[in-house]
Amino acid sequence: MPHKHHSGRAFASDNWAGVHPEVLSAMAAANAGHVPSYGADPYTREAIERIRAELGEDAEVFLVFSGTAANVLCLQSMVRSHQAVICAETAHVYTSECGAAEKQIGCKLLTAPAPHGKITVAGVREHLRYIGNEHHAQPRAVSITQATEYGTVYTPHEIREIADFAHENSLLLHMDGARIFNAAVHLDVPLRAITSDAGIDALSFGGTKNGLMTGEAVIFFDQQLAQDFEFRRMQGMQLASKMRFLGAQFIALFTNALWRRSALHANRMAQLLATELAGIPGVKLTQRVQANEIFAILPAEIVPSLQERWPFHIWNDSTSEARLITSFDTEEADVTDFASKVREAIGAGEKQWI
Ligand SMILES: Cc1ncc(COP(=O)(O)O)c(C=O)c1O
């Protein structure tokens, strides 16, 4: 993908979007006077209360900077180095975090098939045959991503099924919730329906992709996992000295349901883009569009010129499958302009062959 500087909105990632103005103002408003550092400030306290109000009063909540760190620190609290985490073959923690979990924890990641981004009980079961055999890393946790790396969404029932199976087999269940808000609004359920109520033990709670500048949380529903976590977070270099600014961002996210408004908007833009693209001969959607990601095969020859104006990633070079992501600030015109350009480019290509 060309990485020219350009000031328009793109479909490359919800990380390419800026900070939601309401979040930025909340940070500016928090920028007054001195408050205690390292999380002993009123903003952090309120943020934790707001998160507990959504996820359950017993949730143990710790703010951190990045999604990768949240994943690693969650998993580090769940497994030891001779143990293993079972995750989707497409899982971000497996494919895109430079082996951070393996390095920091020393554990093994075992992959399960996930054609639509979702693992199944059968896929988890496959890895249990060597339990008790010292020649094999011992599965101790399962990690699922919500929404998945393919933009699909686990239903509360699907999560519960995996959670029950995991718990019956002495495994813990982690959720990488980098796009948890997009999943919740797609399902139209409260956040706790896909986390605490569905049997999740530890959650990477992602704010950045939904409009924060930098703000994620590590959340434990199993209190034992939280033991000593403050020490792990510090050793893991994720204890923010000026934590009030992380707190202020989460407070903004839960003020007037900003999380819901932003995620609903991003999902709605994704639906619009999917509908537009589905109507263009020569374009093929490859995954169900449920959250804010679209996977579509585009004719390879039209990709570079599209990317000049609307940067996006090619997910699979061999099939020319593109990944397009919408965000809180995607506008309808971005979607319709992009779709007309695709239509036009495909039309121009066809004419050359006449
Ligand atoms: C599913 C998923 N998990 C985790 C992350 C990691 O987040 P960060 O880039 O903040 O480390 C990402 C970011 O792209 C992601 O898509």
| Tens digits of residue pLDDT in 270-290 | 999 999 999 999 999 999 999
Can you read off the two tokens belonging to residue 227?
Answer: 């033991």
Let me know how long the chain is. Answer: 354
Residue 233 lies in a domain: yes
Do 244 and 287 sit in the same domain of this protein?
no
Residue 242 lies in a domain: yes
| Tens digits of residue pLDDT in 304-350 | 999 999 999 999 999 999 999 999 999 999 999 999 999 999 988 76
For the cut 60, the answer to whether the pLDDT of residue 143 exceeds it is: yes
Do 121 and 263 sit in the same domain of this protein?
no
Say whether 273 sits in a helix, a strand or coil. Answer: helix
Going from the Cα of 287 to the center of ligand 1, the distance in angstroms, rounded, reads: 20
Q: Which atom of ligand 1 is nearest to the CA of 208?
A: 10
Whether 211 and 290 have beta carbons less than 8 Å apart is answered as: no
For the cut 70, the answer to whether the pLDDT of residue 352 exceeds it is: no
Do 327 and 196 sit in the same domain of this protein?
no
Do 54 and 137 sit in the same domain of this protein?
yes
Pairing of strands 216-220, 60-64: antiparallel
What share of the chain in percent tops pLDDT 70?
A: 97
What is the pTM assigned to this prediction? 0.96
User: Structural domain of residue 304, as residue ranges?
Assistant: 259-353
Measured CA distances, 159 to 20, 74, 163, 166, 182 (Å): 30, 18, 6, 10, 16
Q: Which atom of ligand 1 is nearest to the CA of 15?
A: 14
Please give all residues whose beta carbon lies within 6 A of any atom in ligand 1, as ranges: 66-68, 71, 92, 145, 149, 176, 178, 208
Do 184 and 308 sit in the same domain of this protein?
no
Do 166 and 272 sit in the same domain of this protein?
no
Q: Whose CA is nearest to atom 4 of ligand 1?
A: 67
Going from the Cα of 340 to the center of ligand 1, the distance in angstroms, rounded, reads: 31
**Boundary (domain end) residue, out of 253, 274, 309:** 253
Going from the Cα of 68 to the center of ligand 1, the distance in angstroms, rounded, reads: 6
Q: What is the mean pLDDT of the chain?
A: 96
Do 29 and 147 sit in the same domain of this protein?
yes
Do 119 and 90 sit in the same domain of this protein?
yes
- Give CA–CA dist 157/117, Å, rounded: 16
Q: Which atom of ligand 1 is nearest to the CA of 65?
A: 10
Do 242 and 337 sit in the same domain of this protein?
no
Residue 108 lies in a domain: yes
DSSP class of 341: H
| Burial environment of residue 16 by CB neighbours within 10 A (0 to 12, 13 to 18, 19 or more) | middle
Average pLDDT over residues 92-99: 98
If one residue of 92, 93, 95 were mutated to test the ligand 1 pocket, choosing by the most ligand atoms within 8 A of its CB, it would be 92
For residue 53, the tally of other CB atoms under 10 A from its CB is: 12
Whether 53 and 119 have beta carbons less than 8 Å apart is answered as: no
Going from the Cα of 88 to the center of ligand 1, the distance in angstroms, rounded, reads: 15
Residue 6 lies in a domain: no
**Boundary (domain end) residue, out of 253, 268, 296:** 253
| Tens digits of residue pLDDT in 15-64 | 999 999 999 999 999 999 999 999 999 999 999 999 999 999 999 999 99
Confidence at residue 8, expressed as pLDDT on a 0 to 100 scale: 82
Q: Whose CA is nearest to atom 9 of ligand 1?
A: 67
Do 222 and 263 sit in the same domain of this protein?
no
Confidence at residue 203, expressed as pLDDT on a 0 to 100 scale: 99
Count of domains in the chain? 2
Confidence at residue 348, expressed as pLDDT on a 0 to 100 scale: 80
Nearest to 300 by CA among 278, 284, 276, 279: 284
If one residue of 13, 63, 66, 68 were mutated to test the ligand 1 pocket, choosing by the most ligand atoms within 8 A of its CB, it would be 68
Q: What is the CATH number of the domain that holds 137?
A: 3.40.640.10
Do 172 and 272 sit in the same domain of this protein?
no
Do 163 and 307 sit in the same domain of this protein?
no
Nearest to 74 by CA among 219, 171, 209: 219
